[in-house]
Amino acid sequence: MEITEKNIKNVGENYSNKNLIVYTEANFSKEELLTQMVHHIKENSDAIGEENDFLKNILEREKIGTTAVGTGIAIPHARFSGAKKIVISIFLLAKPLDFQAPDGEPVKLVIMVGAPQEHGKEYLTLVSTIVRAFRNKEYRESVFSAKSSEELLRKLEEFK
């Protein structure tokens, strides 16, 4: 699939499912959140083989530098051999979390991306497309206003 901003809605349909879109009121540390997200992907998709392998790669990537991109968004991501296909999970946090973002803003929306090693170009295009989509302030604020997983899913699908 060619990934462009015009078909960002298809990104969710091709790389995620409704069970991977979560609104949570839990109070997580950064590592707890990343661990929970990896576990959630393992439990709700067939995209990854070994949960610990994915988590290790996500945490290693985070050590290189924060995956927070600013404006309340983080995109933890990793390519690893245990991935069977590209997968995306999105958590909207009722309690924003410090991700050491470049703009100093706490993170409210966390979009985790996992991919097989051999899907480098598709993976990089996907991550950059997500970043560009959330530069749209109106869209970003609409997504941030969701108060349930169902509402979050609806708002994510509203991208124009």
Q: Which of 103, 33, 36, 113 is nearest to 72 (CA)?
A: 103
pTM assigned to the model: 0.90
Residue 89: per-residue pLDDT: 94
Residue 160: per-residue pLDDT: 54
Domain 20-156 CATH (choose: 3.90.1150.10, 3.40.930.10, 3.50.30.50, 3.30.420.10): 3.40.930.10
Q: Which of 63, 82, 74, 69 is nearest to 37 (CA)?
A: 74
Rg (CA), the chain: 14
Angle (CA) 94-62-114 rounded to 5° is: 80
pLDDT in tens, the chain (160 residues): 343 444 444 455 578 888 999 999 999 999 999 999 999 999 999 999 888 999 999 999 999 999 999 999 999 999 888 899 999 999 999 999 999 999 999 999 999 999 998 888 888 888 888 888 899 899 999 999 999 999 998 888 876 5
Residue 5: per-residue pLDDT: 44
- H or E element: which one contains 12? helix 8-15
Ordered by start, the domain boundaries in the chain are 20-156
